[in-house]
């Protein structure tokens, strides 16, 4: 395993083959724990985009289309086996590339094969309809056909998991794919592309093209052979991609993060709530689209909950992502590290009270992009730390009195990705989950994600759904067929 990790240049995979960038340029991939370059990835340009689009398009109508759905599903099962075999290697690659703690990565990669098996199992179950149209002598039926070549644009926080949320349902639908990972965390996706080839997929079914969004990313979005774009990332990137896609009349799926509220009522199971709230914001150092970054505490438990939460946050070990003890690794990119610093600065400037800031003294790592957990109280609804996605280990806390007030505060946000609700009152849980403007509502839990259940945003958190059978429908188009007979 160590031999593979020491490889410094990771080529792209286009048309089933390793491919170096046509322009000959490479980008250094930094280890955020040290800020040192640990690997090189290709800086692809328009020529590479052209080759990837051609390969994906050829496979779409050719070798991939010729396989039966059951055969396609079998390849996805084989890929799942290879992902299982390389789970530890993939975890090690991401830990170096994006700094996520190895303990979290091991859980993600232990689950990933199951994701591929879920979608592999769906391939031959996509049944269509026979429609009894109101005419004699007509046989009318529908077919679900793949939309075409799907471009998956992925961020750095969970690169291969998010890529799999897009590619697996797209392949289940019969599409072929091009993945453009973030240049900050491309390596696991590049390794994945090698596994696709090893599993025996026809050339061109999955292509991975690395480089900058504004260069090869835009060339791919605009490419005539790309039929649909599935994007996960920030609002600015999402807006740029959906604007360009709209110019070319291309549909998109957008997953744009959030500012998710977690409401804790007086009657909640505080032990479970405290540890789940802490994990909901501080896992992955808060670099999670569903991070529970706004905490609403009912007045009766406010002081006690906060005290227990601070004790919990104090116990978080910040450090080397490769150590099994580490609960919080570094921030993945320097730009993001600076963005978080500006949020912290503004929170202080705007009058929020820093109720807790992790200890930077004794065992805190020196160097690298590390930040301790922060908890702010005295927050008001217009403060930046309450309104904007920080994408870092920063929790803003507000007190509320009544159920109606909690819902109003929770919904007063441009985002709507997720929400959490802690109560033992079943009536209240059944009432409130309908009121919350969010694509996912967790009741007495948080951050559970499954391949089987749809994930996506309300409001400015995006549109379209990943995971579940809905994800496959995103990549299908319906054809109506009319046959007349005498």
Whether 330 and 367 have beta carbons less than 8 Å apart is answered as: no
The pattern of x and - marking residues 8 through 47 that bind ligand NDP according to CB under 6 A reads ----------------------------------------
Q: Residue 484's beta-bridge partner residues?
A: 138
Query: Would you list the DSSP string of 1-66?
Result: -HHHHT--B--EEETTEEE--TT--EEEEEETTTTEEEEEEE---HHHHHHHHHHHHHHHHTHHHH
Nearest Cα to 231, choosing from 163, 290, 282, 285? 163
Residue list 293-322, contact with ligand NDP (CB under 6 A): none
Q: How far is the CB of 485 from ligand NDP (least distance, A)?
A: 49
Residue nearer to ligand NDP on the CB measure, 72 or 96? 96
* 232 in contact with ligand NDP (CB under 6 A): yes
Kindly state the DSSP code that residue 466 receives in the 8-state scheme: B
* 80 in contact with ligand NDP (CB under 6 A): no
Q: Residue 466's beta-bridge partner residues?
A: 455
Q: Which of 339, 377, 413, 451 binds ligand NDP (CB under 6 A)?
A: 339
From the candidates 58, 104, 175, 289, give the one annotated as an active-site residue.
289
Continuous H helices in 205-267: 218-222, 235-247
Residue nearer to ligand NDP on the CB measure, 151 or 309? 151
Nearest Cα to 43, choosing from 237, 263, 210? 210
* 237 in contact with ligand NDP (CB under 6 A): yes
The pattern of x and - marking residues 456 through 475 that bind ligand NDP according to CB under 6 A reads --------------------
The pattern of x and - marking residues 359 through 398 that bind ligand NDP according to CB under 6 A reads ------------------------------x-x-------
Only segment of 60-68, 217-225, 322-330, 431-439 that touches ligand NDP (CB under 6 A): 217-225
Residue nearer to ligand NDP on the CB measure, 116 or 391? 391
In this structure, what is the dihedral angle of CA atoms 54, 471, 291, 402, given to the nearest 10 degrees?
Answer: 150
Q: How far is the CB of 354 from ligand NDP (least distance, A)?
A: 21
Q: Which of 51, 161, 274, 289 binds ligand NDP (CB under 6 A)?
A: 289
Active site residue 175: no
The pattern of x and - marking residues 149 through 188 that bind ligand NDP according to CB under 6 A reads ----xxxxx----------------------xxxx-----
Only segment of 69-77, 137-145, 208-216, 322-330 that touches ligand NDP (CB under 6 A): 208-216
Q: What angle do CA 180, 44, 174 make, to 5 degrees?
A: 40
Kindly state the DSSP code that residue 317 receives in the 8-state scheme: P
Backbone φ and ψ for 444, nearest 5 degrees, come out as 55, 35
Q: What distances in angstroms separate CA 437 from CA 43, 127, 456, one per listed residue?
A: 40, 32, 12
Backbone φ and ψ for 6, nearest 5 degrees, come out as -75, -10
Q: How many residues bind ligand NDP (CB under 6 A)?
A: 29
Residue nearer to ligand NDP on the CB measure, 29 or 298? 29
Continuous H helices in 371-417: 384-387, 403-411
From the candidates 104, 183, 255, 474, give the one annotated as an active-site residue.
255
Active site residue 289: yes
Only segment of 15-23, 46-54, 78-86, 213-221 that touches ligand NDP (CB under 6 A): 213-221
Whether 463 and 439 have beta carbons less than 8 Å apart is answered as: no
Q: Counting every residue, how long is the chain?
A: 486
Secondary structure (3-state) at 208: strand
Q: Which of 123, 160, 240, 397 binds ligand NDP (CB under 6 A)?
A: 240
Q: What distances in angstroms separate CA 400 from CA 132, 412, 427, one per listed residue?
A: 55, 14, 19
Q: Which residues are catalytic?
A: 255, 289
**Binding residues for ligand NDP (CB under 6 A):** 153-157, 180-183, 212-214, 217-218, 221, 232-234, 237, 240-241, 255-257, 289, 336, 339, 389, 391
């Amino acid at each position: 395993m160590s031999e593979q990790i020491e490889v410094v240049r990771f080529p792209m995979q286009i048309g089933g083959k390793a491919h170096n960038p046509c322009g000959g340029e490479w980008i250094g991939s930094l280890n955020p724990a040290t800020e040192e370059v640990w690997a090189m990835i290709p800086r692809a340009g328009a020529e590479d985009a052209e080759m990837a689009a051609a390969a994906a398009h050829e496979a779409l109508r050719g070798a991939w289309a010729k396989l039966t759905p059951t055969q396609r599903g079998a390849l996805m099962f084989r890929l799942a086996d290879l992902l299982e075999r390389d789970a530890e290697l993939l975890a090690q690659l991401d830990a170096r590339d994006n700094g996520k703690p190895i303990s979290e990565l091991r859980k993600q990669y232990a689950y990933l094969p199951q994701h591929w098996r879920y979608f592999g199992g769906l391939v031959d179950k996509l049944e269509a309809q026979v429609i009894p149209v109101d005419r004699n002598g007509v046989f009318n039926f529908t077919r679900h056909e793949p939309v075409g070549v799907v471009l998956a644009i992925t961020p750095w926080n969970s690169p291969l998991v998010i890529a799999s949320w897009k590619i697996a349902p797209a392949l289940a639908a019969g599409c072929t794919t091009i993945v453009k990972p973030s240049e900050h965390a491309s390596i696991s996706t590049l390794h994945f592309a090698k596994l696709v080839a090893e599993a025996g997929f026809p050339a061109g079914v999955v292509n991975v093209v690395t480089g900058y969004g504004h260069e090869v990313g835009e060339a791919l979005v605009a490419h005539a052979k790309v039929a649909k774009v599935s994007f996960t990332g920030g609002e600015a990137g999402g807006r740029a991609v959906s604007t360009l896609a709209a110019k070319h009349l291309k549909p998109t799926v957008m997953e744009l993060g959030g500012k998710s509220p977690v409401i804790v009522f007086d009657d909640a199971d505080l032990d479970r709530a405290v540890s789940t709230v802490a994990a909901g914001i501080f896992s992955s150092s808060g670099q999670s689209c569903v991070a529970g970054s706004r905490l609403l505490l009912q007045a009766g438990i406010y002081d006690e909950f906060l005290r227990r939460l601070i004790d919990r946050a104090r116990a978080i070990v910040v450090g080397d992502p490769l150590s099994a003890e580490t609960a919080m690794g570094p921030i993945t990119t320097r730009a993001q590290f600076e963005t978080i610093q500006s949020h912290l600065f503004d929170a202080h400037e705007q009058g929020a009270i820093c109720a807790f800031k992790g200890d930077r003294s004794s065992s805190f790592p020196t160097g690298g992009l590390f930040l301790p957990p922060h908890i702010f109280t005295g927050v008001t609804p217009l403060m930046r730390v309450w309104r904007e996605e920080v994408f870092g280990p920063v929790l803003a806390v507000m007190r509320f009195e009544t159920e109606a007030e909690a819902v109003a505060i929770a919904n007063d946000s441009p985002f709507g990705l997720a929400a959490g609700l802690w109560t033992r009152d079943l009536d209240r849980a059944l009432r409130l989950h309908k009121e919350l403007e969010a694509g996912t509502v967790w009741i007495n839990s948080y951050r559970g994600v499954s391949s089987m259940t749809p994930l996506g945003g309300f409001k400015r958190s995006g549109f379209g759904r990943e995971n579940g059978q809905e994800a496959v429908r995103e990549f299908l188009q319906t054809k109506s067929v009319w046959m007349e007979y005498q």
